[in-house]
Amino acid sequence: MRTAVFPVVGRLRFAGDLEPSFTRHRLEQSLPFVRFALVLALLLYALFGILDFYIVPVGARWIWVIRYVIFCPVALAVFGLTFTRWFKPVMQPVLAGVAVLAGLGIVAMIAIAHPSAGYLYYAGLLLVIPWAYTLLQLRFSYATWASLTIIAGYEIVAIALQPTPIRILINNNFFFLSAVIIGMVAGYTIERGLRTDFLQRRVIDAQRAELAVHNAQLDSALQESLDGLRRQAAELQASRARIVAAADSERRRIERNLHDGAQQRLTALAIKLRLVSELAGQNGALATNLEELSGEVKDAARELRDLAHGIYPPLLAERGLPAALAAAASRSTLPTTVDAAPLGRYPAEIEATVYFCCLEAIQNASKHAGKGATLTLHLREEAGMLTFDVVDDGKGFDAQARGLGAGFRNMADRLGALGGSLQVESAPQRGTTVSGTIPAGAGADAG
């Protein structure tokens, strides 16, 4: 991470356009502290007036003029000015003037008071200096200028107007200069810290902006990737649906070819054999052979018909799912009950998918449920989803341990191709439930 630190030594000023930005930033941040400093100065300057009567009873009224006629009204006016738009451009020179007025006011009190009493006001100067450098939020240069002006005023009074013994003057100047030096160090450190913080904030803001742009780019790239994946998923779904529809169409074509071709020819052949058998009635052996041959042809025709129905039952295309599933249940080796709600017709690929999945579940139960088991098939539409459940009360199996076989995977793939899903629940000696759902589709006809 990039960092920005203001130089340890050097001028407290930025180069280029950075300085005006810092000035505006500090002005906004320092206004509450400036108002607090002015209120504090007003209170202390006014309250110390109570002591004037006891320290300098003779000249107290002139000192009160300095406190209550000059400084307090000026400080109060500046406090009110801080709430206006005119204050910001002149903030630093005006506040520096308030600091000078506060310090020179105390210097004037020293000049008015008797020397023995004037020394007591000197302590007030030691409060003004740190107040100007810290609480008043003066820039280092303005605070230093104000402090030097106050020092100059004190030296004039202490040397020319109120001659001070050399030992006391040296002592006072020592503490006075010490306060100024401490205030300068504190003011310099504060402003340097503020400038460093300002630089750090700019770096952080710049990094946030870069991060926001980078995040926007990542989000855009991610959205494009997601859109691409959605398109691919939709294309894959459509492709799987087309494959299922093509397979069902081919099933129907094969069923029609068998029904209209080979099955009809076998039926015709059986009729001809029966006629020939009747004509050969006097020849017992030939008649018997022809009758047996006619029976075999009928069996072949029946097997071919069953095969055609297994490929695609005509009943499904003619009457829909409930009738086709009832016919399939009647051919099951296990007692099977069909519980089908009143349903309309659905797109051919949906009806074929549900039919063959139910047929696969019935055949699986016939193989694995065991003797004495019974089957129940439920078929309904709920919330736009066509749902079926094939439930047996047979032996069941451990679905987690054994996993699902190829038949169940084929069912899941077939349902998934049309946006559906398959769920298999089973446990040893608790039977098996095969459930499937598939969107009913916009082509449903509630006729």
Tell which of 104, 133, 164 closes a domain. Answer: 164
Q: What is the pLDDT of residues 169-213, one digit of tens each?
A: 788 778 888 888 888 787 787 777 777 787 788 888 888 888 888
Residue 136 lies in a domain: yes
Highest mean pLDDT: which of 43-57, 88-102, 202-216, 398-412?
88-102
Higher-pLDDT residue of 103, 312: 103
Tell which of 164, 199, 224 closes a domain. Answer: 164
What CATH number corresponds to the domain at position 425?
3.30.565.10
Across the range 140-149, mean pLDDT stands at 88
Predicted confidence at residue 99, as pLDDT, reads: 93
- The per-residue pLDDT of the chain, averaged, comes to 79
Higher-pLDDT residue of 303, 50: 50
DSSP string, 16-74: TTHHHHHHHHHHHHHHHHHHHHHHHHHHHHHHTHHHHHHH-TTTHHHHHIIIIIIIHHH
Give CA–CA dist 281/293, Å, rounded.
Answer: 15
Higher-pLDDT residue of 142, 260: 142
* Most distant CA atoms of the chain, gap in Å: 170
Q: How confident is the model at residue 241 (pLDDT cuts 50, 70, 90)?
A: low
Q: Which two tokens stand for residue 127?
A: 């409060």
Residue 299 lies in a domain: no
What are the residues facing 375 on neighbouring strands? 336, 392
Give CA–CA dist 431/424, Å, rounded.
Answer: 11
Residue 140 has pLDDT above 60, yes or no: yes
Tell which of 164, 194, 219 closes a domain. Answer: 164
CB 333 within 8 A of CB 372: no
Q: How far is CA 414 from the centre of its chain?
A: 36
Domain that holds residue 120: 18-164
What are the residues facing 432 on neighbouring strands? 392, 426
Residue 39 lies in a domain: yes
Give CA–CA dist 218/231, Å, rounded.
Answer: 20
Residue 141 lies in a domain: yes
Number of structural domains in the chain: 2
Predicted confidence at residue 165, as pLDDT, reads: 78
Higher-pLDDT residue of 255, 117: 117
Backbone angles phi, psi at 38, to 5 degrees: -65, -45
CB 362 within 8 A of CB 369: no
Highest mean pLDDT: which of 66-75, 268-277, 323-332, 390-399?
66-75
Q: What is the pLDDT of residues 59-109, one digit of tens each?
A: 788 888 988 999 999 999 999 999 998 888 888 899 999 999 999 998 888
Q: What is the pLDDT of residues 346-399, one digit of tens each?
A: 888 888 889 889 988 888 888 888 888 899 999 998 888 899 999 998 888 877
Give CA–CA dist 393/375, Å, rounded.
Answer: 7
Contacts of residue 368, defined as CB under 8 A and 6 or more positions apart, other chains included, come to: 394, 395, 397, 432
Q: How confident is the model at residue 291 (pLDDT cuts 50, 70, 90)?
A: low
Q: How far apart, in Å, are the Cα atoms of 212 and each of 3, 111, 202, 209, 217?
A: 19, 64, 15, 5, 9
